[in-house]
Amino acid sequence: MKLSLVFVTVLLCLSLVRTHAKCTYIEEYCGTSASGVVVHWKWVNEAEGLIEWTFNNTGSKDASVILNRGATYNGAPLVPPYVFAAAYFPAYLYDGLAQYFYGKPVPLRNYQADYDLPIGMLDVDGHYWTVFVFTLAPGQVFRMEEGGYIYEGSNIFPYCQNVDDITYEGSGVFTVDYDVTTQCKEFDSTQPCPPKKFDVGSAYYSIKKGLVNSTNFWPSAGDKFEMNLCLAESNYGSMRKADGANIADVDRQQLAAISQQVKSTVRSAKVSSDKRLKRIL
């Protein structure tokens, strides 16, 4: 219902473009975290499939959030929701869009909309995943563009699952083992990719149980993020290991099946945060 309204709005907007020289795109509501970070999106350029996300911390404290979103096509689900950065994070590391940060999160700076956006490790039911960490001071507004909202020549629309608070737990050294083909080469076959397996220092975060689950990281099904407990600078290391022992292993086969299903219908319509897209077009 809401999505078809969005579609109508955009069509209206397009016809306005034809008759009037100017059209102001309407901001669509995405979601609000418990801490009060409100997220909206709007088109920047439909022909390029480029949107802009706006994060607005209306709360009274610094807050770190993740964005869990997918995409719809003609009002129907197309890309199942996943947490922003779960797809293509290794490519982002090498094209300068993202970087793992060590230590307590600090509020984003404006230049980070263009490069070096913080990514970090999120512990979900005893397993780590890589996510964009959006940290905002009270009253702060942060904007970033995201490309890729095009599928077979038509626009697809962000579908917001939720905006969730995450909590800094510590920093450590992680070994990342990722799928080079799906997570890097597919994004850009011309750019170099990080080694399949690499060590990196990163902050790690927790999230309230039940807000996200492993399904929300399906593009990252073939990846592993292991904390190096010998090198980890944290008091949580040994405790976490014990916690993890009781938790069922992530069903990576199931995640890979979702990934495969999406790929066969969607091909590479995984939405991507591609600042180069903007430069090339």
Q: Which residues bind ligand NAG (CB under 6 A)?
A: 54, 56, 58, 81, 141, 161, 213, 215-216
248 and 63 Cβ atoms separated by less than 8 Å: no
Task: Give 9 or 56: the residue with its C-beta nearer to ligand NAG.
Answer: 56
Q: What is the DSSP letter of 250?
A: P
Task: Give 167 or 213: the residue with its C-beta nearer to ligand NAG.
Answer: 213
Rounded least distance, CB 269 to ligand NAG, Å: 18
Rounded least distance, CB 56 to ligand NAG, Å: 4
Residue 68 tokens, joined: 């869990």
Rounded least distance, CB 228 to ligand NAG, Å: 29
Q: Cα separation of 170 and 204, whole Å? A: 6
Q: Cα separation of 105 and 246, whole Å? A: 29
Task: Give 19 or 246: the residue with its C-beta nearer to ligand NAG.
Answer: 246
Rounded least distance, CB 68 to ligand NAG, Å: 7
Task: Give 215 or 228: the residue with its C-beta nearer to ligand NAG.
Answer: 215
Residue 275 tokens, joined: 């600042």
Token pair 């976490």 is at which residue?
Answer: 240
Rounded least distance, CB 124 to ligand NAG, Å: 10
Q: Cα separation of 149 and 146, whole Å? A: 8
Q: Cα separation of 262 and 255, whole Å? A: 11
Task: Give 40 or 276: the residue with its C-beta nearer to ligand NAG.
Answer: 40
Task: Report CA Rg, the chain.
Answer: 19
